């Protein structure tokens, strides 16, 4: 059972508020000085991954109070409720069991009185058979040629997960090239398909609901493109498969139900990469690698279930995040992978985190009086250094950041990797230690700058430092490591949602825009008098302006 407790009414919350004043008056440099064992004390390992929490503005007492906060807010009961398959997504009446998808039957779970382990295993087998057929060339297109390209059509969780993982695991790509089309902007589907051969292209239409406007529009355009070749309707079965929970709609679209890979309403869209939504990964990386990815996720689930708070990586990530958002005033969190292939990782967790915890109503239905989910953003290093790091180092905002790096590169070319790693280490060091006025002046003097020049410029060259970061270092970017990392972030989000007393698995906030877009579409497609009455002056004015530019007059 979820315990619907207002965290700001707990004893721990009050103490954390007081503690924040003390921490604000101290510095990371001092914390390191006063504890030579700080690195050892504040790093945690899982498999090859090391999570260095030592460059965070925390001490033993902060952790102890966060542990108390978790106890007062019922985090343990919340985790149990999730893993046991209780319908904790109460606003949609659904269980939250994405972790069961990577569990390989280790736990027996029932939903509505029926075991879900067998259906999960059956879909994995179907994915394996299908990907094997495709990779071996035994699945032929309508003209007898093998499939060389997969186009995954989906959006949000039906796109970001597979796309992010496919990119992150580039060194594991096989000869089948995966493409991802999400935006309803025709540019996306046109630019993707323009160089593809319909005879050798297979479409995966990925949509939990099979009714999302963007996905269905792109799917219909893909079908029209396919049928403009020598193919006929009956050939669709060889070139279109569906991943969905909605069999009826899949059949309505014209996809053979034997080409459908199911998942279930207890898998949230943004947590669905572990389900058949990962079909493109099984095909483009090989099923074995997809399975390794799932096993990596399971490893983190086991770690979460078996570790005490002090050793528990997702709990520490969650607690430190809450500490920054609610007590030290952070509005955002940056995720900076020093791994070019992980260039969509921050975007993926923008949805994962912001769609889950961007809520202003608590589980009792009351307005929230404290901050919930932070703004998530980021880009790979070193590129970010030449874009937004200026603000991270010298801006007026407080931005905790996660840095992710791997010791060994898949690309042993010259000294690229040492340079990449030296930048990662240097940035976290610079954020923490900064540069004092005395250091700047000494540096300028040594360079031979005049006293006038030093007096004028030195203030601008000072770095206040004391900016926190967590470093996450793995041995090598592998499917297992990525699976574990994603699961850690997922659990962090879940735990934070429990503490913030919000429902992390619905997303009502995206509905209004969808509804209004449906009322605007006819006003753009047909001339309609309705525009005169139904909209506010700005929206009405914009519609009229756009229609005029498009040669329509209403
Ligand atoms: O953006 C809202 C949302 O419902 C997401 O949660 C989901 O991942 C996405 O749309 C796509 O939905 P579907 O898989 O049903 O097409």
Q: Are strands 469-476 and 43-46 parallel, antiparallel or unpaired?
A: unpaired
User: Would you state the pLDDT for residue 187?
Assistant: 98
Tokens of 193: 């398909």
**272 & 320 share domain:** no
User: Would you state the pLDDT for residue 552?
Assistant: 76
**Residue in 199, 355, 480, 490 annotated catalytic:** 355
The reply to whether 201 falls in a domain is yes
Tokens of 331: 């509005």
The reply to whether 302 falls in a domain is no
Ligand 1 surroundings by CB, under 6 angstroms? 155-158, 207-209, 212, 215, 269-270, 355, 507, 510
Report the CATH number at residue 265: 3.40.50.10490
**485 & 517 share domain:** no
Query: Could you tell me the residue range of the domain that residue 279 belongs to?
Result: 110-290
Q: What is the position in ligand 1's atom list of the atom closest to the CA of 215?
A: 16
User: Would you state the pLDDT for residue 550?
Assistant: 94
**67 & 149 share domain:** no
CA of 194 to the centre of ligand 1 (A): 26
Any idea what the Cα angle at residue 469 is, between residues 468 and 473, rounded to 5°?
160
**Residue in 24, 464, 476, 514 annotated catalytic:** 514
The reply to whether 449 falls in a domain is no
Let me know if 220 is a catalytic residue.
no
**44 & 123 share domain:** no
Tokens of 63: 């952790």
Let me know if 386 is a catalytic residue.
yes
Choose one of 94, 267, 354, 507 to mutate for the ligand 1 pocket test, by most ligand atoms within 8 angstroms of C-beta: 507
**126 & 275 share domain:** yes
Tokens of 346: 């921050």
The reply to whether 439 falls in a domain is no
Choose one of 89, 96, 152, 158 to mutate for the ligand 1 pocket test, by most ligand atoms within 8 angstroms of C-beta: 158
* Residue ranges in the chain modelled with pLDDT below 70: 527-533, 553-554
**158 & 235 share domain:** yes
Q: What is the position in ligand 1's atom list of the atom closest to the CA of 269?
A: 8
The reply to whether 418 falls in a domain is yes
User: Would you state the pLDDT for residue 529?
Assistant: 59
Let me know if 191 is a catalytic residue.
no
**54 & 133 share domain:** no
The reply to whether 443 falls in a domain is no
Contact, 205 vs 153, CB < 8 A?
yes
**414 & 532 share domain:** no
CA of 268 to the centre of ligand 1 (A): 9
Domains identified in the chain, total number: 3
**284 & 327 share domain:** no
The reply to whether 101 falls in a domain is no
**285 & 320 share domain:** no
Q: What is the position in ligand 1's atom list of the atom closest to the CA of 268?
A: 6
Q: Is the peptide bond before 262 cis (omega within 30 degrees of 0)?
A: no
The reply to whether 95 falls in a domain is no
**264 & 363 share domain:** no
Question: 3-state DSSP call for residue 39?
Answer: helix
**Residue in 233, 386, 452, 525 annotated catalytic:** 386
Choose one of 156, 183, 243, 280 to mutate for the ligand 1 pocket test, by most ligand atoms within 8 angstroms of C-beta: 156
**Residue written as token pair 């925390």:** 58
**484 & 518 share domain:** no
Cα–Cα distance measured from residue 484 to residue 302, given in angstroms and rounded to the nearest whole number: 10
Question: 3-state DSSP call for residue 323?
Answer: helix
């Amino acid at each position: 059972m979820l315990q619907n407790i207002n965290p700001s009414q707990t004893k721990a919350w009050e103490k954390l508020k007081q503690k924040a004043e003390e921490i604000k008056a101290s510095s990371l440099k001092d914390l390191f000085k006063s504890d030579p064992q700080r690195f050892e004390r504040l790093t945690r390992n899982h498999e090859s991954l090391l999570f260095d929490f030592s460059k965070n503005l925390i001490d033993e007492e902060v952790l102890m109070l966060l542990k108390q906060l978790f106890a007062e807010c019922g985090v343990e009961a919340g985790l149990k409720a999730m893993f046991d398959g209780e319908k904790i997504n109460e606003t949609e009446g659904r269980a939250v069991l994405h972790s069961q998808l990577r569990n390989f039957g280790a736990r027996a779970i029932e939903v509505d009185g029926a075991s879900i382990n067998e259906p999960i295993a059956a879909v994995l087998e179907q994915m394996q058979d299908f990907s094997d057929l495709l990779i071996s060339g035994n699945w032929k297109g309508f003209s007898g040629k093998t499939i060389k390209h997969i186009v995954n059509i989906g959006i949000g969780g039906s796109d970001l997960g597979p796309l992010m993982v496919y990119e992150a695991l580039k060194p594991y790509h096989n000869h089948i090239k995966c493409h991802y089309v999400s935006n309803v902007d025709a540019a996306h589907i046109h630019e993707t398909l323009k160089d593809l051969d319909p005879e050798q292209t297979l479409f995966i239409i990925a949509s939990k609901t099979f009714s999302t406007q963007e996905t269905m529009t792109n799917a219909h355009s893909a079908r029209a493109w396919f049928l403009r070749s020598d193919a006929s309707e009956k050939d669709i079965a060889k070139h279109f498969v569906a991943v969905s929970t909605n069999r009826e709609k899949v059949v309505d679209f014209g996809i053979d139900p034997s080409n459908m890979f199911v998942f279930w309403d207890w898998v949230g869209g943004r947590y669905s990469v572990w389900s058949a939504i990962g079909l493109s990964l099984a095909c483009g990386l090989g099923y074995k690698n997809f399975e390794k990815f799932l096993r990596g996720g399971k490893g983190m689930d086991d770690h979460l279930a078996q570790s005490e708070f002090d050793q528990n990586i997702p709990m520490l990530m969650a607690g430190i995040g809450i500490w920054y958002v609610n007590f030290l005033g952070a509005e955002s969190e940056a995720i900076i992978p020093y791994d070019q292939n992980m260039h969509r990782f921050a975007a993926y967790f923008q949805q994962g985190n912001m769609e889950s915890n961007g809520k202003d109503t608590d589980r009792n239905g009351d307005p929230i009086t404290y901050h919930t989910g932070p703004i998530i953003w980021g880009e790979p290093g070193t590129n970010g250094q030449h874009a937004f790091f200026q603000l991270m180092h010298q801006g007026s905002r407080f931005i905790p950041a996660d840095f992710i790096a791997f010791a060994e590169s898949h690309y042993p070319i010259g000294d690229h990797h040492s340079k990449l790693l030296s930048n990662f280490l240097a940035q976290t060091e610079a954020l923490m230690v900064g540069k004092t006025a005395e250091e700047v002046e000494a540096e300028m003097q040594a360079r031979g700058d005049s006293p006038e020049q030093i007096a004028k410029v030195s203030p601008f060259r000072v770095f206040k430092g004391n900016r926190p970061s967590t470093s996450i270092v793995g041995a090598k970017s592998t499917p297992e490591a990525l699976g574990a990392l994603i699961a850690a972030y997922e659990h962090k989000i879940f735990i934070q949602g429990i503490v913030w007393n919000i429902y992390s698995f619905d997303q009502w906030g995206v509905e209004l825009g969808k509804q209004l877009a449906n009322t605007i579409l006819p006003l753009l497609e047909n001339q309609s008098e309705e525009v005169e009455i139904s909209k506010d002056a700005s929206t009405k004015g914009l519609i009229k302006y756009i229609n005029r530019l498009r040669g329509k007059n209403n």
